[in-house]
Structure 1
Amino acid sequence: MPLPQNTEMDLSHLSSSEIRQRIRNGQHDANTAGLAPGKLQCNLAMLPQEFALDFLRFCQRNPKPCPVVGVSETGDPMLPTLGRDIDIRTDVPRYRVFRDGTLAEELTDITELWTDELVTIALGCSFTFENAFLREGIPVRHIETGRNVPMYRTNIDLVPAGPFNGQMVVSMRPLAEQFIEDATAISARFPQAHGAPIAFGDPAAIGISDVHAPDYGDPVEIKEGEVPVFWACGVTPQNVIQTARPPICITHAPGHMLITDVAEDAETTIYKDPTQHGENQ
């Protein structure tokens, strides 16, 4: 369906499944930063089966930007290892549709595009460890200001696999120097969400010419005494499909993630039904 007017509101008190229901009903199409604290958020790539194995090889060779946390059955829009009721066709606030490697459109529902040949690969997202930052008193600028995280293309080459090759995309959070050590240690505990930062300081060192003009997301203020800190980012596949040129690839729109029912610090992404295990979402 076409993009509706933004229906942004405070969803911070809702469970992961309740947020997905609002997304499914067209009641939320904004970014998902700060939502469902304690739950894993995911980047997505939906590809024809003939491209899926090479893409999984690409992810295995480049685990920092592409940590695989879930894979669907071919043609199945459900992701039972990540949530009991996830429907990948409706449960993401915004999708991007690439045709032959070129961005063709953004949608809020891809039901009409779904086919029996598509495979969904879910990748961990750095929004996951931001909740841990906030619990430890480390400020997250884009959440404070209600914006999307800034993301940038870099000059960091990735290990190719089949037709997939290119450069890494990173996300950036400005931090005062006294927070960098703790932020590094905290994010390192989340390898399924990109782990520790890959760089901090001079953006030009990783090929970013203007840190105030991100390629994806929104610019955020870098205050005096703060340092830009860069993490590998799951938008990387949207950069590399331009060279792979699959006939179709459907992704999340940057910052508009799939919110799962999996705990953010889970060692695996095997979903446990809370109705059977006495757990609350």
Structure 2
Amino acid sequence: MGTTVTDPAALTPREARSLFRGGLITPTAGWSAGWTQANLLVLPREMALEFMVFAQRNARACPVLDVALAGEVAASIFDGDLRTDLPAYRVYRDGEPVAEVGEVREYWRDDLVSFLIGCSFTFEGALLEAGVPVRHIEAGTNVPMYLTNRECAPAGRFAGPLVVSMRPVPARQVGDAVRVTARYPAVHGAPVHVGDPAGLGITDLDRPDFGEPVEIRAGETPVFWACGVTPQAAVMRSRPAFAIGHAPGHMAVTDARDSAYLVP
């Protein structure tokens, strides 16, 4: 779709969702400033409780903000249609991604339960206000995300590795980045790792597993936060018969305010 958006940060959630419903596919970092974005995972009802336990046991990576029960296509923080109002989705069968599409009505079933999971995009406005650069917003690209060698606590059929997002931060500002993001525990909170990516089993920052690489400049340190793509890594490991997720970086723009998740 050829839509040009001159100031995505100024859009309301409803305006953003309308563009996505109309076919616009784009990463959403920097969109609808001040409004919370969320990861999406959709599962058959018979697996929902097991996933909720998995999320509870791995709350840093999988902070559940809201749940739409079977038969519902909206949620209390998402006054839109979960089948059409994200910019892109991934469909999984037996743990394998079989489609990446702009809407999922043809895949939808009445027994599907939708989980909205906290996203680190929520604290990026606060980082920028504190003077901490956010490189993927500067570059207009997707945030880089990586599979790690850290295992999540399993629950029932769900198990898998922690996924992290990475932002390069000037070394003198790493402490600021930690302090700012620690005040958002419901959307991943403080970093899980600072510095050498080998400590997470990451061998090449220029080859993220999801998203796009970003430039790391002289004097900058890679900083890693738990990422809401972790549930999709669990889907790929655990291989449920069917699941739907957001395409990484293409989030649900909700009607909740970022400030609602700020701890004073």
2:225 paired with 1:228: no
Are the equivalent residues in 2 in contact too, given 1:8–1:30 (CA < 8 A)?
no
Letter in 1 for 2:109: T
Give the superposition deviation at 1:148.
0.4
Identity of aligned residues (%): 49
Letter in 2 for 1:108: G
CA distance in 2, matches of 1:201, 1:6: 39
- Per-residue CA deviation, residues 100-131 of structure 1 (Å, 9 max, x unaligned), is 10010101011111111100011000011001
Count of residues in correspondence between the two structures: 261
Give the superposition deviation at 1:8.
5.1
CA RMSD of aligned residues (A): 1.2
SS of 2:128's equivalent in the other structure is helix
Letter in 1 for 2:60: K
Are the equivalent residues in 2 in contact too, given 1:216–1:254 (CA < 8 A)?
yes
Which residue does the alignment assign to 1:65?
A: 61
SS of 1:44's equivalent in the other structure is strand
Give the superposition deviation at 1:244.
2.1
Which residue does the alignment assign to 1:215?
A: 209
2:182 paired with 1:188: yes
- Per-residue CA deviation, residues 71-127 of structure 1 (Å, 9 max, x unaligned), is 011121111x103x3210011000000001001010101111111110001100001
Output the TM-score relative to the length of structure 2.
0.96
2:12 paired with 1:15: yes
Residues 244-263 of structure 1 mapped to structure 2, 5 A cutoff? 244-263=238-257
Residues 78-227 of structure 1 mapped to structure 2, 5 A cutoff? 78-79=74-75, 81-83=76-78, 85-227=79-221
Letter in 1 for 2:208: P
Structure 1: state its 5+ residue gaps.
269-281
CA distance in 2, matches of 1:50, 1:6: 40
Give the superposition deviation at 1:9.
2.6
Letter in 2 for 1:241: V
Letter in 1 for 2:193: A
Letter in 2 for 1:199: H
Output the TM-score relative to the length of structure 1.
0.90
Are the equivalent residues in 2 in contact too, given 1:156–1:168 (CA < 8 A)?
yes
SS of 1:19's equivalent in the other structure is helix
SS of 1:266's equivalent in the other structure is helix
SS of 2:142's equivalent in the other structure is coil
Give the superposition deviation at 1:267.
4.6
Are the equivalent residues in 2 in contact too, given 1:163–1:243 (CA < 8 A)?
no
Structure 2: state its 5+ residue gaps.
none
**Which one is further off, 200-209 or 6-15?**
6-15
